[in-house]
Amino acid sequence: MGRVALVLAGTGSSGDCPLIRGARVGSPSPTLAEELRRTSLYEQHVKAGGRIVPYAGWEMPVQYTGVTDEHHTVRTAVGLFDVSHMGELEMRGVYAGQVVNYLVTNDISKLEDGRAIYTCCCNAEGTILDDLIVYRANQDRYLIVCNASNHEKIAAVFAAAAKDHCEFVDRTHETALIALQGPKAMRVLEKAGDLREALALPAFGFTDARLLNVDVTIARTGYTGEDGVEIFCPWDEAPRIWEGLLALGKDEGIKPCGLAARDTLRLECKMALYGNEIDETTNPIEAGLAWTVKLDKGDFVGRSVIERVKQQGPTRKLVGFEMTGRGIARHGYPLKSRDGQVIGNVTSGSPSPTLNKNIGLGYVPAGQDAIGSTILVDCRGKDVEAVIVKTPFYKRK
């Protein structure tokens, strides 16, 4: 692929999303005294009957027609998500690549123009500040997409590292992000313009394009486990693109989808959610993200601690489980051994619309993580049996 101009701030998303039915939200909401922001698609959400909730400082649609309906729509047809609350940061200059590589665990030095990579950003203690996607436009220009709840924190980290080395630009408040996800997503995209390069993108590839007469950046990324793209566009142009894609996708069964369905979709695929599976108390090894850590690339923040954890082995591990008894696991519920001893906690849990089972993720001590092992989930004082299973729970064919 040739060089990519990248007309916008960046592409891709790692994951923010609230849990369902009154359960804990994946990242903190502001107090009543704080002002909630709205994306440029707010009026479209209200018009479509979206249920608006506070999320990470924003007013976001949690659902429209219902979590299960929207979930099945993405698995079988195509769904449209507003994820404009994500953070987009840009690093530019001769040394931009070296600075970014020092701040993340994965090796971005091997990226080609127009390719992206998933990674963690850790502190000196080797625990996770955020999970990111880094995009290489060219050797002097990189885009970083972070979670909405961590925007200020990660922006501060990258801005400080850039000082005296490269240029840092925060493009979060000028860039909107729309995710088109599902097995029929590319059929809808094909109708939106001359997008041959975008339609041919490999996973984690991205390119600039002209979509519905708007200059955008399109990435073959997502947070649902299905095929699809994420579209970055100018903030004020998002309504035109949103409404245009809904019109073009009518025959394909497209529906707007909220953050709740995004959460159940990512949970089935065991995609980490910051504030649940990962945070500043977890390291990438115990979180099952060792594949994002490249110890042979040279020094990076937290390297020595992470290397030691990898050599010695983590004290706990993130596992997936299915409920065999009647009950739904929720964030924070205790996990117990068969003799009733507390051994860990649930990080995420909900009914799985695809599998028609109640599933969850949680941390248990290393050595007690064998597939097939029985554990107990303390569901508000009632111990409910569950079994540790192989993950991801769902993987598209």
CA 60/CA 52 separation, integer angstroms = 5
The Cα 194–Cα 252 span in angstroms is 19
Q: Give 11's DSSP letter.
A: -
Neighbours of 29 (CB within 10 A): 16
Q: What is the DSSP letter of 110?
A: G
* Residue 367 DSSP SS3: coil
Kindly give the confidence (pLDDT) of every residue in the chain, 397 residues in length, as a single tens digit, with 9 standing for 90 and above: 334 556 653 333 333 333 333 333 344 444 444 689 999 999 999 999 999 999 999 999 999 999 999 999 999 999 999 999 999 999 999 999 999 999 999 999 999 999 999 999 999 999 999 999 999 999 999 999 999 999 999 999 999 999 999 999 999 999 999 999 999 999 999 999 999 999 999 999 999 999 999 999 999 999 999 999 999 999 999 999 999 999 999 999 999 999 999 999 999 999 999 999 999 999 999 999 999 999 999 999 999 999 999 999 999 999 999 999 999 999 999 999 999 999 999 999 999 999 999 999 999 999 999 999 999 999 999 999 999 999 999 999 8
Among the CATH numbers 2.40.30.110, 3.40.50.2000, 3.40.630.30, 3.40.50.2300, which is that of 315-389? 2.40.30.110
pTM for this model (two decimals): 0.92
Closest CA to 18 of 122, 113, 148, 108: 148
Query: Rounded to 10 degrees, what is the CA torsion of 264, 269, 275, 279?
Result: 180
Residues 6 or more apart from 21 whose CB is under 8 A from it? none
Within 10 angstroms of residue 263's Cβ, the number of other Cβ atoms is 28
The dotted CATH code for 1-314 is 3.30.1360.120
Per-residue pLDDT, 35: 87
Question: Are 44 and 255 spatial neighbours (Cβ–Cβ below 8 Å)?
Answer: no
Q: CATH 2.40.30.110 residue ranges in the chain?
A: 315-389
Q: Which of 150, 120, 172 is nearest to 284 (CA)?
A: 120
Residue 66 in tokens: 């219902």
| Beta carbons within 8 Å of 352's beta carbon, 6+ residues apart | 264, 267, 268, 358, 359, 393, 394
CA distance 20 to 63: 10
Does residue 296 contact residue 338 with C-beta atoms inside 8 Å?
no
Q: Identify the pLDDT of residue 2.
A: 38
Domain with CATH 3.30.1360.120 in the chain: 1-314
